[in-house]
Structure 1
Amino acid sequence: MLQRRKLQKYMPLDGEFILSHSAGFAASDGQIEPGCERGEDITFNDPDQYKWYDPKYWQTILSKSELEKNKYTFTLDEESVPCQHDDVVFQPGTSFRVDLDAQYINVKTISLMNRKFISSGDFNNYKQSNTGRLQFHGNASVAVTNTKCEDKSGCECGNSDNQRRICSNLQQDFRSYCADLDCTNPLKPQGHCCEICGAIIYLQYDDRFDLELYRTQLINSFLGLGDNKGVQMSMTKVYKEHFSKQTIPSDAIPHIQIVLIDNATNTGTLAIRLAQEIMTDITSQGNAFGIVSAELKINTNIEEQDGRNSARKITGIVVGVLVAASLAGSLTFFIISGRIRVKSPSALINFKNSFRCAAAETVDKGFSNPVYDPQESCGHYPGDHAIDIVPRQAGISVITPPSDGRDFGEQDC
């Protein structure tokens, strides 16, 4: 009697299935449940889509105190992937395949498969193993330095050279990754892919400045209080010029960049108000934290811009009226005084007569004109009005009525 023997196969830890086109396989524990005889279709994603410099695939591990602070802070895109002083952890019992899509990668340590790599040599040897080749592909040079940030004023993330790669990876899956903004001149923080409505404060500091201490001060004293609950903050060390981390000039001055945004709106109104409060606080007690100077940049809201445009239009009209009035007055004086000789059209006859009646004793009679006879009476012409010119202080625009009721024609010329 023949008996069927169960065929058992054991896969090695670093094994892999290689399937031809349209092939498939099924795995079972040997127990068949009713209705599940056929199994179900499974779609496998492209294993090469997971790139090192893609913020979507990284998550920051925070302590309990950091989780509390995280409600009031946000992370710039460059810092959403491992920075040069970060520990990278691939969780045990998980499978992954990462495209090292860069020329070089610089981190503190890398932990995976219950191992922790603290040197570049050990990690690169692992990367060339059978398992390492399945988990990592790409030609990037990975530096594992085992160095932490020793500067209490903070350290640069070190990903500025890969910003284009980071932003491109973000926008591949999210074509409209950057939100629509409701301000007219948005700001572009260093280390971020999108412009923002809000405020940026740049701090210069001395050797007493402590980044974490000042971040805690701003959270406890400003963020989370009253209307400020709708504002989030990012605080990082940057160079205001975009230098390569391999070509930073020796005289380049680092700054602390504080970015404030509205969490619920895209106008930046709350963030700007908070930034102004922080600037006032820096003026009064910034020296106690080692702050030497501060520079504030803010956006303009659409409503404010419209108001300013309207104000500019009104100002332009007022200035135009003043200029026209000044030119007309000067021209009139020179014509009456005889310094400028012109032929007066009939429409100006009454204006000239009326003015000359009041000034006849001090102003020369001018020149003879075939249309105008200086010996003629100062009475009004039918249908015309006298103009009352009242001197005003500079900067005030006054429109005078055509007549104040006085009859210049009754005066003795």
Structure 2
Amino acid sequence: MGALGAPGRLLLCLQLCELTRAGYKIWVPDTDFDTADNWSQNRTPCAGAAVEFPADKMASVLVRAAHSVSDMLLPLDGEFVLAPGAGFSAAASSSDLDCGAGAAALFLDPDRFLWHDPRWWRSRDLTHGLFSVDAERVPCHHDDVVFPPDGSFRVGLGPGARTLRVRSVWALGQKFTRDEDLAAFLTSRAGRLRFHGPGALSMEPEACADPSGCVCGNAEVQPWICRALLQPLGGHCPPVACRDALRPEGQCCDLCGAIVSLTHGPAFDLERYRARLLQDFLTLPQYQELQAAVSKVRRLPQSLEATGSEADTEIQVVLVETGPRTGGARQLARALLADVAEHGEALGVSAATVRESGAPAGGGPAAGLVGGVTAAMFLLLLVLPAGALLLHRTGRLRWRRRDVAVGPPLGFPNPVFGAAGSEEQPPAPQADARSTSQSYFVNPLFSETEA
């Protein structure tokens, strides 16, 4: 089974053109011999290197070029698919230190690629400025799934015996749309070399015919999706740079930005709204550092109570800030609310609500300004009394004791609270003739004589 020739590639192009009318996901990683990421040294084996494959694994390995090796430890079960001109020849052990002399090149575990890991899928439906929440980065129920027709791959179908539902599967130049045909392929030798694990694949051949979109259907497997996605991070979400971060439906970790929820009617068109968001908003200079995800999701129970709507779905618009500047997501969210208020009927949107994350965790410019003013006032409180005492001891500043009757305090204009606070004072207690007080007020803005 070699690489596809020109007729096969032309057929693939025609098939992909057909697929562009529906959502589909493309499997990215491969188990090719010539892919550097598949080797322990992050490069293909040098000439004369010793090569080792995991002895207890199964794998289908495509070889695209000619290689000379000194030794090769083969896997327990597998196959090598040779492209035209590819092959192996024996050579003496390499003495090149840059080539890792004495160390064998280890082929990494081919079972490390899991269906539920969003990192291994790519969607051709997305354009610049748009992204998908984590649960929708793996194939949804109405998606067509495409595996490389001229490359080798291996996919783990999950840790549990759940059934993964998709619209169709393209593998090894074949399209599977019936459970019977797919099951026969998965139990064949070619299928067992490429798919493993207790999970099962099943067809849901109906395409999404609703113009307002369809719910992805991955809510049940989202824990697996998040576990696979966060495994390189030790299972923990990275810290966010804002307070009161948001977690959209289908997302594994919190985000900084805004979420706009749209209550839609039968006239709403999801693709048309995506195009409107891209062309009329995300292309504007003030929104260049934003990304948006637009999809239909299940409405939360509290949202149903708040809106009084009987519909169990809504359109979720997630706005995320990707650059150093903040505030763009909030600005765009409010612009979208204004757009719904003006054009909601034409868009098929009856209501819209927004949730926003808080200020940057570091405080941001405004917090920095407030902190600076507070620090300056604190320093003045410390410095002024000490400075006045020093001036007094050196004789440069003098004050004298004077007796004053206890009465209403003398007001003075305060720019922080306004003049009104100096005019209306609470009534003073009756003065005692024997009572005296000492009043000292040191103002560095006045001269000695005025003091």
TM-score of the pair, normalised by structure 2: 0.59
Aligned partner of 2:124 in structure 1 is 61
Which residue identity lines up with residue 300 of structure 1 in the other structure? G
Superposition deviation, residue 41 in structure 1: 3.0
Which residue identity lines up with residue 298 of structure 1 in the other structure? E
Report matched runs for 1:42-191 at 5 Å.
Answer: 42-62=105-125, 70-101=127-158, 102=160, 103-175=162-234, 178-191=237-250
Given that 1:387 and 1:401 are in contact with CA atoms closer than 8 Å, whether structure 2 keeps it comes out as no
Superposition deviation, residue 113 in structure 1: 1.2
Q: Are residues 177 and 148 of structure 1, via their aligned partners in 2, closer, same or farther at CA, if it must alter by over 3 Å?
A: farther
- Quick check: which one's strand share is greater? 2
Q: Are residues 18 and 283 of structure 1, via their aligned partners in 2, closer, same or farther at CA, if it must alter by over 3 Å?
A: closer
Which is further off, 18-27 or 284-293? 18-27
Superposition deviation, residue 154 in structure 1: 0.5
Aligned partner of 1:363 in structure 2 is none
Q: Are residues 288 and 80 of structure 1, via their aligned partners in 2, closer, same or farther at CA, if it must alter by over 3 Å?
A: same
Which of 395, 398, 406 pairs up with 1:386? 406
Matched, 1:228 2:287: yes
Matched, 1:41 2:98: no
Superposition deviation, residue 287 in structure 1: 1.4
Q: Are residues 134 and 305 of structure 1, via their aligned partners in 2, closer, same or farther at CA, if it must alter by over 3 Å?
A: same
Matched, 1:213 2:276: no
Aligned partner of 2:73 in structure 1 is 24
Matched, 1:282 2:345: no
- Look at both structures and tell me which one has the larger radius of gyration over its CA atoms: 1
CA distance in 2, matches of 1:190, 1:383: 72
CA distance in 1, matches of 2:217, 2:115: 14
Q: Are residues 179 and 227 of structure 1, via their aligned partners in 2, closer, same or farther at CA, if it must alter by over 3 Å?
A: farther
Matched, 1:260 2:309: no
Superposition deviation, residue 35 in structure 1: 7.9
CA distance in 2, matches of 1:206, 1:276: 21
Given that 1:118 and 1:146 are in contact with CA atoms closer than 8 Å, whether structure 2 keeps it comes out as yes
Q: Are residues 23 and 304 of structure 1, via their aligned partners in 2, closer, same or farther at CA, if it must alter by over 3 Å?
A: closer
Superposition deviation, residue 42 in structure 1: 2.3
Report matched runs for 1:260-409 at 5 Å.
Answer: 260-265=319-324, 268-302=326-360, 303=363, 383=403, 385-388=405-408, 397-398=421-422
* C-alpha RMSD over aligned residues: 4.3
Superposition deviation, residue 60 in structure 1: 1.6
Which is further off, 256-265 or 53-62? 53-62
Secondary structure class of the residue paired with 1:281: helix
Given that 2:264 and 2:351 are in contact with CA atoms closer than 8 Å, whether structure 1 keeps it comes out as yes
Secondary structure class of the residue paired with 1:147: coil
CA distance in 2, matches of 1:143, 1:84: 10
Secondary structure class of the residue paired with 1:161: coil
Which residue identity lines up with residue 45 of structure 1 in the other structure? L
Given that 1:389 and 1:400 are in contact with CA atoms closer than 8 Å, whether structure 2 keeps it comes out as no
Q: Are residues 398 and 220 of structure 1, via their aligned partners in 2, closer, same or farther at CA, if it must alter by over 3 Å?
A: same
Matched, 1:198 2:247: no
Q: Are residues 200 and 233 of structure 1, via their aligned partners in 2, closer, same or farther at CA, if it must alter by over 3 Å?
A: same
CA distance in 2, matches of 1:52, 1:20: 21
CA distance in 1, matches of 2:277, 2:294: 10
Which residue identity lines up with residue 407 of structure 2 in the other structure? I
Given that 2:212 and 2:269 are in contact with CA atoms closer than 8 Å, whether structure 1 keeps it comes out as yes
Given that 1:86 and 1:107 are in contact with CA atoms closer than 8 Å, whether structure 2 keeps it comes out as yes
Q: Are residues 268 and 253 of structure 1, via their aligned partners in 2, closer, same or farther at CA, if it must alter by over 3 Å?
A: farther
Given that 1:199 and 1:268 are in contact with CA atoms closer than 8 Å, whether structure 2 keeps it comes out as no
CA distance in 2, matches of 1:20, 1:186: 45
Superposition deviation, residue 153 in structure 1: 0.3
Aligned partner of 1:349 in structure 2 is none
Gaps of 5+ in 1: 1-9, 12-16, 244-249, 315-381
Secondary structure class of the residue paired with 1:288: helix
Which of 240, 243, 259 pairs up with 2:299? 240
Aligned partner of 1:368 in structure 2 is none
CA distance in 1, matches of 2:283, 2:337: 18
Q: Are residues 290 and 408 of structure 1, via their aligned partners in 2, closer, same or farther at CA, if it must alter by over 3 Å?
A: same
CA distance in 1, matches of 2:350, 2:260: 13
**How many positions carry a matched residue from both structures?**
309
* Identity of matched residues, %: 30
Deviations 1:210-237 (A, max 9, x none): 0111111111111021111111100010
CA distance in 2, matches of 1:117, 1:184: 47
Q: Are residues 400 and 284 of structure 1, via their aligned partners in 2, closer, same or farther at CA, if it must alter by over 3 Å?
A: closer
Q: Are residues 31 and 171 of structure 1, via their aligned partners in 2, closer, same or farther at CA, if it must alter by over 3 Å?
A: closer
Q: Are residues 396 and 99 of structure 1, via their aligned partners in 2, closer, same or farther at CA, if it must alter by over 3 Å?
A: farther
Q: Are residues 397 and 157 of structure 1, via their aligned partners in 2, closer, same or farther at CA, if it must alter by over 3 Å?
A: same
Deviations 1:7-63 (A, max 9, x none): xxx99xxxxx9948997269995767898699983212122221110111112234x
Q: Are residues 292 and 47 of structure 1, via their aligned partners in 2, closer, same or farther at CA, if it must alter by over 3 Å?
A: same
Gaps of 5+ in 2: 3-52, 58-70, 81-85, 96-100, 303-308, 375-401, 411-418, 434-451
Q: Are residues 294 and 29 of structure 1, via their aligned partners in 2, closer, same or farther at CA, if it must alter by over 3 Å?
A: closer
TM-score of the pair, normalised by structure 1: 0.64
